[in-house]
């Protein structure tokens, strides 16, 4: 539900959502020419903000845009926005577009970027999703070759996610040329013989902040992790499959393409690492 009274941030001002508007010639609207971030906030404490800001800088550099703020400025704006919301656990969304200009593909000169930020309630997984796992469908990864950039041009991801929604599943797990990449809005981790195997952070996956956190929290409880390309056949025959993202944390996949996967229940390695994740993250309210 859209709450027009929700306070959001637009170009230096905090305004009610119902009053926040952007000209139709914004390059975000015309071309999807911009980048974004989503930072989870637990009990008003952001989780891994420096890592999210580093990824934002990587995305901005990748699309040849200047960063409009220093990390300290981003942190201050986010802190201010978070303090203005009535809920303690939040998902802070922020995006930077190349600004408003006459429509022409080439970069405009001397145009200020558009900066928009909102903080919604953090939609953490339900207890049932944690305990029973979630379903995925599989599809060919037909997105572009710069999936490491978190751009707002998401129509490829949107179409892939809709395949899952159409099938009543949570996510679409993607394969490119016979190898696992990620899912439409999550990373995918594989467990084989007690070891977590993760695809390398190359240009075909988003370098997930939760992917890194999950790897760290797995190692913290003695679970080995290796990084290497994962063939499709190996992923689909794995002992366990997990999804990770800022709003899912880590979730077990228990159904693939309509068939129960790995006994149809979250596995023992998942339970151990999920518990480690819960112990390490800032405490939710």
Residues identified as active-site: 150
Q: Is residue 224 within 8 Å of 107, Cβ to Cβ?
A: no
Q: How far is the CB of 244 from ligand PLP (least distance, A)?
A: 6
Q: How far is the CB of 111 from ligand PLP (least distance, A)?
A: 27
Q: How far is the CB of 212 from ligand PLP (least distance, A)?
A: 8
**Site mask, ligand PLP, residues 204-223, x = CB under 6 A?**
--x-xxxx------------
Instruction: Rule CB under 6 A: say whether 185 interacts with ligand PLP.
Output: yes
Question: Which residue bears the tokens 């013989």?
Answer: 193
How many other C-beta atoms are found inside a 10 Å radius of the C-beta of residue 114? 21
Kindly tell me which of 113 and 208 has the beta carbon lying closer to ligand PLP: 208
Instruction: Rule CB under 6 A: say whether 171 interacts with ligand PLP.
Output: no
CA quadruple 279, 263, 125, 188: dihedral, nearest 10: 80
Instruction: Rule CB under 6 A: say whether 244 interacts with ligand PLP.
Output: yes
Interface with ligand PLP (CB under 6 A), residue total 14
Determine the Cα–Cα distance for residues 208 and 273; give it in Å rounded to an integer. Answer: 17
Q: Is residue 25 within 8 Å of 43, Cβ to Cβ?
A: no
DSSP 8-class letter at 194: T
Residues 32-71 that bind ligand PLP (CB under 6 A): 38
Helix (H) or strand (E) holding 13: strand 13-16
CA quadruple 164, 167, 168, 171: dihedral, nearest 10: -20
Q: How far is the CB of 10 from ligand PLP (least distance, A)?
A: 22
Nearest position to ligand PLP, beta carbon: 210
Contact residues for ligand PLP (CB under 6 A)?
A: 38, 157, 182, 185-187, 206, 208-211, 244-246
């Amino acid at each position: 539900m859209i709450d027009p009274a929700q306070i959001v941030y637009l170009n230096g001002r905090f305004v009610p959502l119902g009053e926040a508007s952007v000209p139709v010639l914004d390059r975000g609207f015309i071309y999807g020419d911009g980048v974004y971030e989503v930072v989870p906030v637990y009990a008003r404490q952001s989780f891994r903000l420096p890592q999210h800001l580093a990824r934002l800088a990587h995305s901005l550099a990748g699309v040849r845009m200047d960063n409009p703020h220093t990390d300290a400025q981003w942190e201050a704006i986010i802190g201010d926005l978070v303090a203005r919301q009535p809920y303690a656990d939040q998902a802070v969304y922020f995006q930077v577009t190349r600004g408003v200009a006459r429509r022409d593909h080439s970069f405009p000169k001397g145009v200020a970027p558009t900066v928009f930020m909102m903080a919604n309630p953090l939609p953490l997984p339900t207890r049932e999703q944690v305990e029973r796992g979630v379903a995925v469908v599989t599809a060919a990864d037909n997105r572009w070759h710069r999936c490491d950039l978190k751009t707002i041009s998401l129509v490829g991801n949107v179409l892939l996610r809709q395949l899952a929604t159409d099938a009543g599943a949570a996510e679409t797990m993607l394969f490119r040329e016979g190898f696992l990449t990620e899912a439409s809005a999550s990373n995918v981790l594989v467990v084989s013989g007690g070891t977590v195997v993760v695809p390398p952070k190359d240009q075909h996956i988003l370098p997930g902040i939760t992917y890194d956190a999950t790897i760290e929290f797995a190692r913290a409880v003695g679970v080995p992790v290796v990084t290497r390309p994962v063939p499709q056949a190996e992923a689909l025959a794995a002992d366990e499959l997990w999804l990770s993202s800022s709003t899912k944390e880590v979730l077990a996949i228990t159904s693939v393409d309509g068939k129960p996967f790995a006994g149809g229940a979250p596995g023992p390695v998942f339970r151990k690492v999920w518990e480690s994740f819960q112990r390490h993250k800032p405490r939710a309210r």
